[in-house]
Amino acid sequence: MTRPLNVALAGLGTVGAGVLSLLRQNADLVAARAGRPIAVTAVSARDRTRDRGISLAGLHWFDDPAALARDPAVDVVVEVIGGSEGVARDVVEAALAAGKPVVTANKALLAVHGAALAEAAEAAGVALAFESAVAGGIPVIKALREGLAGNRIARVAGILNGTCNYILTVMREQGREFAEVLAEAQKLGYAEADPSFDVDGIDAAHKLAILAALAFGRPVDFAAVHVEGIRRVSALDFVFAGELGYRIKLLGLARQTEAGIETRVHPCMVPQASPLARVDGVFNAVVAEGDFVGRVMLEGRGAGAGPTASAVVADLIDVARGRTTPVWGARSAALSHAPSVPMAAHVGAYYLRLMVVDRPGVIADVTAALRDAGISLESMLQRGRSPGEAVPVVLVTHETREAAMRDALARIAAMDAVLEDPTLIRIEPA
C-alpha cells in the first residue's frame, strides 16, 4: 500500500474536530480519491484537557504549534486556528519554511498576508491551499482559480457571511429590529458573543479580498476593500425595500473597471427576482461573471464543522495527488498590478431614508441639496402625514457618483428638520 499522507493539525476547535472526524468516518472514500490513506498523526491546541467529543488517542501532541509544523514526520500542515497574526501566522510560516504544503481555513491571514505567503510557498515549491477559507463547503476557490481559468472575470458578487444573512433574513420575515435579532442569533450560536467581526463586515471583506485576487489575478489587497456593516439597517428599511421591489443583503462586490479594481462590502438593495435575493438564512452564495462562461452561481453552507472540513479535506486530497496550482492562479511575477478604485469613484443608484419633521419646505430643501450635487431622483416615498412630528421619507436616485452622494448627504444631515442620521443603502443591479 502507498505510504499514508501524514497530516499535522494545528487547531482543535469546531473545524479541527470536524476535519479529524471526516478523515476517520470517510477514510476509505478519501483514500480511494487521494490514491493513498490520509491520516492525522500530530495535533496542537491550547488545552490538552478539553473534551472535543473525539478521541485523540495515538496522536502526537505538540504544545508548540511551530514545532509541530517543523516535525520531519509530518507531510502537510493544516492550520485551523484563525486570526491574521500570532500563532496561526507562525505555524504557516514555519511550515512553508520547512518545505511543507499548507492547507488553511484562515481568511484573515490570507487577506492580510496572502501576498507574502504566496511568495514563500512559491520559493519552497509547495502548495498553499485554502478552499475552506471562503464560503465554507462551497468550492468557490477552485471554481474561480481553475474552473474559470480561461475567462476574463468582470465581476464577483457574494453573500459571504452567514451571520449577517441570517439576521437580515429574520428582520425581513418578522419585521424585527437589528439588536433584537442579533441577541437571538447569539443565543442560537449563529453569532459570537462579540459579533463585530461579522456584523461590521470585516469577515466578508477578508473573503472578498481573496476572491478579488483570484478573479482578477493580482496580489490580495485587503486594505483596498471598502467596508460597511449592517448595524444601521432598520426594520423600516425592509418595509420600503419591499414596496420598491428589493431585498436587503450584505454583499461583497468586486468589479473590473477601466480605472482598475473596485472592491466593496456593504448592505445592498437587490431586485427581488435576482438569484442572490433568494439566498436566505445562514447560507452563502457567490456569483461570478466571465466573458466566455457568462454568469455562474454557487450556493451552500458557508460555515460550520462539516462544510468547512469538507473543503479542508478536498485540499488534502489535492496535496496527496500532487496537484498544485499557484496560490492566486498565476505565479507572483505574472500577477497584475491594476490599481484599486476608491469608493468615492463608485457610480450607482442609491436608496436614502430620512426621518424629518413634517412641515412645509422640508422636501424642497432636501431635493435642492441633491440637485446642487448633480443628483437626480427616480422616485420618492412618504407614508402618512403627521404635521410637526417625525415622518420617514425615502428617496431613490438615478445613477450618480459616490462622492456627489456623500456631499449631498452631509448637507442634508445638517438640516435642523432631519432628526437622525440619514440611512444610505446602495442599489445593486441583478
- Helix%, strand%, coil% for the chain, nearest 5: 40, 25, 35
Catalytic-residue membership of 142: no
CA-to-CA distance for 222 and 133, rounded, in angstroms? 14
CA-to-CA distance for 191 and 4, rounded, in angstroms? 38
State whether residue 80 is helix, strand or coil: coil
**Cell 424642497 belongs to residue:** 364
**Cell 487577506 belongs to residue:** 111
* Ramachandran region, residue 88 (left: φ > 0; alpha: ψ -120 to 50; beta: rest): alpha
Inter-residue contact 13 to 6 (CB < 8 Å): no
Strands 294-301, 260-271: pairing kind:
unpaired
CA-to-CA distance for 111 and 211, rounded, in angstroms? 10
Of 268, 231, 249, 246, residue with least CA distance to 350: 268
Residues paired with 268 in a beta bridge:
249, 426
Inter-residue contact 365 to 417 (CB < 8 Å): yes
Strands 153-159, 38-44: pairing kind:
unpaired
Residues paired with 79 in a beta bridge:
10, 104
CA 93 to chain CA centroid, Å, is 24
State whether residue 89 is helix, strand or coil: helix
Residues paired with 266 in a beta bridge:
251
CA-to-CA distance for 230 and 283, rounded, in angstroms? 17
Of 89, 81, 75, residue with least CA distance to 316: 75
Q: Tell me the three cell numbers of residue 56.
A: 485523540
Largest CA distance in the chain: 85
Q: Considering the candidates 100, 107, 142, 207, report the single residue annotated as catalytic.
A: 207
The number of residues in the chain equals: 430
Residues known to be catalytic? 207
